[in-house]
Amino acid sequence: MATVETVYLGGLRTEATHVQSGRKILTDAPVDNHGKGEAFSPTDLVAAALGSCMMTLMGIAAQTQGVDIDGTRLSITKIMCADPRRIGEIVVEIRFPSDYAPKIRTVLERAAATCPVAKTLHPDCIQTVRFHYGE
């Protein structure tokens, strides 16, 4: 069974449906690539997937350690390159609401580093990840 079914809606817009849940995501080409920029671009979704994956794995690690990371926030910046057009760098700023003990910090940071999305991205795509505690 397929994971995602995607339909081209015209005007450089797509609608992707998550088959299991029926949830939908619209994408739009970015303004700098002939689009309207009215929704996530496909490359925005790559950057979002990286952050969400890291956050999920840190959540699993936190549960295992009995630590609450509710309220943790990510700021993700996608930097495009040309020739060929691609994502050149994704910067992920992770802001935890608490200032955890060094052991917990290590557990969380190692969990983020095991993200399957991060492992899937091409080595030419730089991944800059910064952790901020107690913010």
Which sequence spans correspond to the domains of the chain? 4-33, 42-132
Quick one: average pLDDT of 6-19?
Answer: 97
Summarised one tens digit per residue, pLDDT across range 79-104 is 999 999 999 999 999 999 999 999 99
135 pLDDT more than 90: no
Query: What is the fold of 42-132?
Result: GMP Synthetase; Chain A, domain 3 (3.30.300)
Phi, psi of 30 (to 5 degrees): -70, 160
Phi, psi of 93, rounded to the nearest 5 degrees: -105, 115
pTM above 0.75, yes or no: yes
